[in-house]
């Protein structure tokens, strides 16, 4: 093949070629100086506060390019508490006996998230895993259950991790080359919604509520197309929030509550998605 016919060919050297060349230059005080490093290969430079706009762009581009190259066109997002254990597992986050009992009782949502992810992934296989690919925050609890359900049926599954002091490390069921890590919450949120065809929200804490309400706001304001937003756990959500009260107070419009569907099982949730898209 003519070199000019190769994809991405250029008469100028690629940056990776320059990096190899730099490794072969003589070792001198000048070449060891930080100023001599190529800018993009200099961690001290790339992590300066002035470089924040560049880092934001890189965090947007890296996952986007990878997902596009894999041909992933749409996703199903699973949000939920990192502290919810699998049935029979240890309630490691419990601070008292009441929390321990409640977290253990909520472990049923781990199983429903796992089953829901299996249903999504079985349908995803029909599109050669281009549509309805399961994506989670990549951590433990409900996130692990979502990735695990996809893994159960041999489907690829995405994890969008973020650097936190605790509770957040990749679970073992995320497809390794679809496991991403973020510094900026804002860019991570963009990746959750950019390909989302549905969102399933399980019981969780501030992080779950943050992602949930951000998505509601995007749909309510017309900045995002309507997609199924499904809450798992009628008992939990009836106490965690009261959208009817907000409508009565006039702080949301009548009918805004209808953006949400409330379910208790994975089968109910998949039926909603199937009806919405005519699957």
pLDDT tens-digit map of 6-55: 556 667 767 777 777 777 788 899 888 999 888 888 999 999 999 999 99
Does the structure show a pLDDT above 60 at 112? yes
Task: Note whether residue 15 is domain-resident.
Answer: no
| Mean pLDDT value across residues 129-138 | 97
Helix (H, G, I), strand (E, B), or coil: what is residue 115?
helix
Task: Note whether residue 10 is domain-resident.
Answer: no
Question: What pLDDT score does 30 carry?
Answer: 87
| Mean pLDDT value across residues 216-230 | 94
Dist. CA 251–CA 86, nearest whole Å: 37
Could you tell me which of 138, 87, 133 has the C-alpha nearest to residue 110? 87
Consecutive H or E run containing 78? strand 75-79
Alpha-helix runs per DSSP H in 47-204: 52-70, 97-105, 108-124, 142-152, 185-194
Task: Note whether residue 232 is domain-resident.
Answer: yes
Task: Note whether residue 34 is domain-resident.
Answer: no
| Mean pLDDT value across residues 215-244 | 94
Could you tell me which of 104, 98, 61 has the C-alpha nearest to residue 85? 104
pTM of the full structure: 0.90
| CATH (domain of 76) | 3.40.50.450
For residue 127, the Cα-to-chain-centroid distance in whole angstroms is 21
Overall size of the chain counted in residues: 279
Dist. CA 166–CA 125, nearest whole Å: 34
Domain count for the chain, please give it. Answer: 1
pLDDT in tens, 185-212: 999 999 999 999 999 999 999 999 999 9
Does the structure show a pLDDT above 60 at 2? no
Domain span at residue 120? 66-277
């Amino acid at each position: 093949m003519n070199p000019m016919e190769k994809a991405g060919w250029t008469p100028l050297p690629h940056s990776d070629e320059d990096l190899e060349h730099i490794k072969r230059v003589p070792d001198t005080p000048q070449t060891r100086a930080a100023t001599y490093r190529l800018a993009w290969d200099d961690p001290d430079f790339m992590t300066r506060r002035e470089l924040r706009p560049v880092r934001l762009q890189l965090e947007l581009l890296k996952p986007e390019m990878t997902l596009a190259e894999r041909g992933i066109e749409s996703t199903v997002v699973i949000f939920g508490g990192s502290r919810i254990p699998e049935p029979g597992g240890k309630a490691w986050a419990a601070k008292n006996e009441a929390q321990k009992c409640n977290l253990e009782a909520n472990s049923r949502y781990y199983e429903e998230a796992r089953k829901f992810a299996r249903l999504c992934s079985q349908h995803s296989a029909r599109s050669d895993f281009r549509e309805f690919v399961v994506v989670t925050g990549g951590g433990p609890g409900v996130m692990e259950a979502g990735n695990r359900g996809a893994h159960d049926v041999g489907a690829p599954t995405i994890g969008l991790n973020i650097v936190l002091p605790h509770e957040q490390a990749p679970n073992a069921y995320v497809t390794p080359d679809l496991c991403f890590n973020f510094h900026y919450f804002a860019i991570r949120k963009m990746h959750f919604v950019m390909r989302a065809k549905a969102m399933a929200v399980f019981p969780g804490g501030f992080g779950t509520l943050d992602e949930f309400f951000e998505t509601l706001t995007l749909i309510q304001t017309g900045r995002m197309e309507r997609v199924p937003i499904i809450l798992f756990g009628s008992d939990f959500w009836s106490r965690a929030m009261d959208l009817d009260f907000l409508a009565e107070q006039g702080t949301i419009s009548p009918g805004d509550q209808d953006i949400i569907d409330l379910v208790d099982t994975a089968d109910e949730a998949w039926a909603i998605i199937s009806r919405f898209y005519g699957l």
